[in-house]
Amino acid sequence: MIARLAVWALGVAMLAGIVHIVVVLGVPSHSVNDSWNAIARLGPTGTFVALPRPTAGTPSLPGLDPAMAQATCRFELDAAPVRIRVSAPDVYWSLSLYDRQGLHVWGLDNRGSGQKAADVLVAGDVHVAQLRENPPEQLEDVVIVDWKGRQGIALFQIFRQQPSLDGEIRAALEAAECKATPLQ
């Protein structure tokens, strides 16, 4: 009798554990409030959109640093590669690329590049092969990122070092480009 009860208890515990694991691992793939959809509500694909400063009462994307000013862009590589150009005042900045699920794939900052600006071309396998075969002159100084998916998210962040730079930072976020660039 006790052995039968112990087997039942073990079976119920194992079944509950399996259900919990499936639910925990399955929820992110069924979520409609992921970063991709949240950014879609802010603006169109292929354009940088300045994000509001994260505060206690303001909804924002999770994990953003309130000491940084951010702009984000959703991009799709269906028609052509995407060219991202950013420039910032003489403070710390970073440009990060995330896949459709919000996982960090690639990043660059002013300390690593040693420049105040970045010019990046995000291209799929076919376009990268075309670029290697016949590299255009206008892309000579461009960083080329070999992208494995069809969609992605670019996040441009600038450190708010002092309030007097807010105007320059806002202008830099508004001037950031994220647009499809067909190869000739």
What are the tens digits of pLDDT across the range 139-176? 888 899 999 999 999 999 999 988 889 999 999 999 99
* DSSP string for 11-43: HHHHHHHHHHHHHHHHHHHH-SSSHHHHHHTTS
Of the candidate ranges 20-29, 37-46, 61-70, 108-117, the one whose mean pLDDT is the lowest: 20-29
Task: Give residue-wise pLDDT tens across range 127-141.
Answer: 998 888 888 888 888
Rounded distance between C-alpha atoms, residue 62 and residue 69, angstroms: 14
pLDDT given for residue 19 in this prediction: 85
With a cut of 60, say whether residue 181 has pLDDT above it. Answer: yes
pLDDT given for residue 20 in this prediction: 87
Residue 174, burial from CB neighbour count under 10 angstroms (0-12, 13-18, 19+): exposed
pLDDT given for residue 16 in this prediction: 86
For residue 49, the number of C-alpha atoms closer than 13 Å in the C-beta half-sphere is: 17
pLDDT given for residue 141 in this prediction: 84
Higher pLDDT, 3 or 116: 3
pLDDT band at 33 (very low <50, low <70, confident <90, very high): low
Task: Give residue-wise pLDDT tens across range 42-84.
Answer: 889 999 999 887 777 766 777 788 889 999 999 999 889 999 9
pLDDT given for residue 105 in this prediction: 95
